[in-house]
Every structure is written in C-alpha cells, then in structure tokens.
Amino acid sequence: MIFRMKIKSKDYHDYVIKNGKFIGAFEQMYQNVEDPWNVGDATQIPYDIALYILKKRDACSEGGNVLDIGCGLGTFTARLKKQMPKAKIIAVDVSPTAIKKARRRYGNLGIEFKVLDIQKEYTNIKNTFDLIVLSQIMWYVLPDFEKIVNYLGARCLTTNGYFLVSQAFYKPEEQKYGKKIVSTVEDMLNLIHMDVVEMIEVNRFTNHDAVILFRKRVN
C-alpha cells in the first residue's frame, strides 16, 4: 500500500522504503529532494559498468530504439545518449516532476522524456526496442517485477535486442523488505526468463550492485 500522507523530508528513504514498508511517494520525493539518489553526474561505478558492457557488446550504438525505465532526473539517460548518439531514446518515470526536471536538463539532447507508471501501464507499451534499461527500480515494483520484465522481454524487445538490469542489493541482516520474493542476485535471475549475456558484480560480499545484460531466450 502506498502512503498518501504529506511527507516533509530531505532523506529519500522517507519516500520509498522505510522500516521494511514500501511507501512509494516518488512525486513528493522529486518535489522535495534535489538529488534523491545522489547520482550527481551519474559517474558511479554501476553506471560506468553498464556503459562499458553496452559498448563492449555494441548494443544499439549505431542507432535503434532504446527504452529507459525509471529514468528519474535523466542523468544516466543522458550518458546513454552521448554514448549512442544515433539512438532514439524514450525515457519514462512515474513522477511528472522528475520528467519535467529531466526535460529541462537534457531535453536538448533529443531524448523523449515521458510520464509513465510502468507497474500499471507496462502492457500498454506497443513499441519494440533494441535496448531496454531497468536501472535500480526492482524494489519499487517488486510484486510485479517478474511480470513486467518478462512481458517487456517477450513483447517489446526485438529479436536481437538487449535487456540491461542494474540493481543494488543489501546484506541479509539489513534487508527488511521483499525477502519472500528476492534476497540475492540469484533470486532475481530466477525471475527473469532471458539469457544472461554478461554480468558484473561490485562489492559482492557487502551491499552490492549487479549489472546484467540479457537477451531474449531462444526456445
């Protein structure tokens, strides 16, 4: 259940997951917190790894269609565009405020920023994409994560397209939300019915990130 109460805080945790409960007040978060994910210029290691893998695999670098889900303020989307200047990128987020700020910051790059609640509207996506990116949104759509990812992979990914997932995980003693669905990278992999092309993990034995590139499974 998403809390509808008015929140006044500069700590993004108060808007997303707090004390083991999902809050999901993303619109309030983007209204009240300047840089909620502390992405700055999006130079953190997981972003660098994602771009490295995409460049290594030549994923959409010569053009094609890209869907970036949960783009937030658009910092990573902008880096994608600069690495793939010929690509047509659609970047979506549930928060109208986030999209407004992303357009103001990066609209001159030719990225199409749109408001979309992926949890409610994923079956409305009719386009096909050469690359789909899900960066750090699993916990926020967790009950429907398996359905969303596999629908998009099966219905919205081109035959030779790629699906990139970048996700942070927590130490077992620190995770208070979603344990019955996902606790480890292996749990997440079991939910995604696509073939792993490449996976790089950072800080494997602490709070860590996994960056994984998939392709549609050939039956």
Please report the pLDDT score of residue 4 as a whole number: 57
Question: 40-60 pLDDT, tens per residue?
Answer: 554 578 999 999 999 999 988
What average pLDDT score do residues 134-147 get?
96
What average pLDDT score do residues 120-133 get?
95
Angstrom distance (rounded) from CA 153 to CA 161: 9
Angstrom distance (rounded) from CA 8 to CA 208: 29
**Cα-based distances in Å from 81 to 91, 114, 196:** 11, 16, 24
Please report the pLDDT score of residue 111 as a whole number: 98
All structural domains of the chain with their residue ranges: 1-36, 45-216
Angstrom distance (rounded) from CA 189 to CA 95: 28
Instruction: Please say if the pLDDT value at position 74 is more than 50.
Output: yes
| Residues paired with 201 in a beta bridge | 210
pTM beyond 0.85, yes or no: yes
CATH topology of domain 45-216: Rossmann fold (3.40.50)
Question: 156-182 pLDDT, tens per residue?
Answer: 999 999 999 999 998 888 889 999 999
Report which residue type is found at 165. Answer: V
Task: Enter the tokens of residue 28.
Answer: 């309030």
Please report the pLDDT score of residue 1 as a whole number: 40
The mean pLDDT of the chain is 90
What average pLDDT score do residues 102-107 get?
95
Taken as a whole, the chain contains a residue count of 219
Please report the pLDDT score of residue 96 as a whole number: 97
Q: In which band, very low, low, confident or very high, does the pLDDT at 2 lie, cut at 50, 70 and 90?
A: very low
Q: Is the dihedral of CA 26, 29, 34, 38 positive or negative?
A: negative
